[in-house]
């Protein structure tokens, strides 16, 4: 089974178990995750997030809106103009 099919077949319970394992660094039975297991599990959690969850429920989501609907600070995707000052 390839990675994409595995993500498509993943149940919410398996997703939650993987997410908890990555957060704690160990499996439910107490065994520590190897670095390869942690990397693969995190990749699966992020892929599941992207395909099955709405944006506001995804791992790493930051709500940048204020109560009035406007955004806090600058839009991180908006280009910024840098002004270079010289001593001339």
pLDDT single digits (tens) 12-63: 999 999 999 999 999 999 999 999 999 999 999 999 998 888 888 887 887 7
pLDDT for residue 72 is more than 70: no
Which residue intervals of 1-88 are DSSP H helices? 3-9, 12-24, 35-52
pLDDT at 64: 74
Distance CA 71, CA 49 (A): 23
Contact present, 65 and 57 (Cβ < 8 Å): no
Distance CA 78, CA 59 (A): 22
Please report how the helices 35-52 and 12-24 are oriented relative to each other, as an axis angle in degrees rounded to 10.
Answer: 140
- The ranges assigned to domains in the chain are 3-57
């Amino acid at each position: 089974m390839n990675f994409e099919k595995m993500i498509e077949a993943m149940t919410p319970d398996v997703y939650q178990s993987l997410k908890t394992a990555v957060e704690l660094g160990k499996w439910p039975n107490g065994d520590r995750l190897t670095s390869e297991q942690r990397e693969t599990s995190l990749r699966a959690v992020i892929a599941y997030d992207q395909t099955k969850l709405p944006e506001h429920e995804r791992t790493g989501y930051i709500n940048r809106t204020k109560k009035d609907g406007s955004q806090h600070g600058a839009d991180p995707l908006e280009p910024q103009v840098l002004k270079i000052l010289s001593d001339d």
